[in-house]
Amino acid sequence: MTQPKTLSATRCTLGEGALWHPDRGSFLWFDILGHRLYEHDGQEERHWQFDRAVSAAGLVEANRLLIASERDLFLFDLDSASESRLCDLEADSPVTRSNDGRADPQGGFWIGTMGYAGEKGAGAIYRWHKGELRRLYAEVSIPNAICFAPDGGHAYFTDTPTGVIRRVALDAEGWPEGEPEEWLDLRPEGLKPDGAVTDADGNLWNAQWEASRVACYAPDGRFLRAVALPTPQTTCPAFGGADLSRLMVTSAAEGRPAEDRAAGNTFVFETDARGRAEPRVLV
């Protein structure tokens, strides 16, 4: 395990949606409020500008992503920068935007929505799968920590203000089976779970808002370790690199003082873990 280094000093207002793109050998992430998608290949950084808030993506093909925005899901061609709309996502609501999201092992894509001001219960969690967008959970305030057991048997998610990461069993097609259960209660420590990702062993790595860290938990919920980061508002991790041993973590500058020069930066460090290759989304 190495100390975190700055991958990008770009000051994202609200960094989110960390993703490794194996075909391009690059990390991708979003600045939700800056309406931008960023890419860094370890040497150079580039970005794409959008006309609306964008927050999370899933891999479709070598040059195409499924991207979630404040009003829709769309396909985005990284080479031509062209968009192709898939479906509306709360397009009739001026209050909400997309937030955390990730592809599941069955080829689906989970995406959460929330109020721009974090309005209580304004958001929801949805799943896109083979042409269908279905709402899974309603009255969510700040959906986060969407990730999956490596075998596709369970999904994890949280409503950040609750302080609890929940787990739900999935059927063979990736749809929830039964009711979610409390898997990890972070309330006694006063921690706020943000984005998360699982590694090849099923351990869950969780960015914790206002805690300046990413923490790792075993599949049974046991705390294993935490990695300190130089700014408090950590938001979303993703494994990447040739052997998937590097962990990238986004952060947010929103509300942070100018003296916190690391706020909104994107970090990377070597781990002794191995990530999982992100599944492709079936569109």
Q: What amino acid positions are annotated as catalytic residues?
A: 194
Cα 194 to Cα 214: distance, rounded to the nearest angstrom: 9
Dihedral (CA of 188, 168, 125, 277) sign: positive
Report the candidate in 159, 239, 170 with the shortest Cα–Cα distance to residue 204.
239
- Count of residues in the chain: 283
Residue 250, token pair as written in the block: 């986004």
In b/e form, how buried is each residue of 209-231, taking b as 16+ CB within 10 angstroms? bebbbbbbbeeeeeeeebbebbb
Task: Identify whether the C-beta of residue 32 lies closer than 8 Å to the C-beta of residue 48.
Answer: no
Task: Identify whether the C-beta of residue 168 lies closer than 8 Å to the C-beta of residue 119.
Answer: no
